[in-house]
Amino acid sequence: MPKKQIVLLPRSKRILSEMGENIKLARLRRKLSTEQVSQRADIGRTTLTRIEKGASSVSIGSYFLVMQVLGLEKDFLLLGQDDVLGRKLQDAGIVSKQRAPKRQ
């Protein structure tokens, strides 16, 4: 079975690329080599290189492991923390169904 192709919008690609660059800068600030980080995160060096380039095909777990090695794991808690749109929808009282109704 062929692997499913991941399609991202250009804006999303830029965000991932910036995240990868931030991870790389954090590694360099700590004066850690790619070999050291990849061994501590128990991933391959090529996976770490792809993370630092912001590859969308790398699992979020691998991103988390690298951030954990760098001491940045708590930054994951910041994802979606201030959901402005969600709060506006909640305040507006818009109700959405959890599931579509069953067909008969």
Residue type, 65: L
Of 56, 36, 58, nearest in space to 45 by CA: 36
Residues 51-83: tens digit of each pLDDT? 999 999 999 999 999 999 999 999 888 887 888
Vertex 42: Cα angle to 4 and 49 (nearest 5):
60
pLDDT at 39: 96
Average pLDDT on 34-57 reads 95
Tokens at residue 64, please? 């988390």
What average pLDDT does the chain have? 89
**The overall pTM is greater than 0.85:** no
Residues 28 and 38: their CA atoms lie apart, in Å, by: 14
From residue 61, give the alpha-carbon distance in Å to each of 7, 10, 98, 104.
Answer: 20, 23, 27, 40
Q: Higher confidence at residue 91 or residue 75?
A: 75
- Class for the domain spanning 10-76: mainly alpha
Distance of CA 50 to the CA centre of its chain: 12
Mean predicted confidence (pLDDT) in 36-60:
95
Give the pLDDT confidence score for residue 95 in this predicted structure: 65
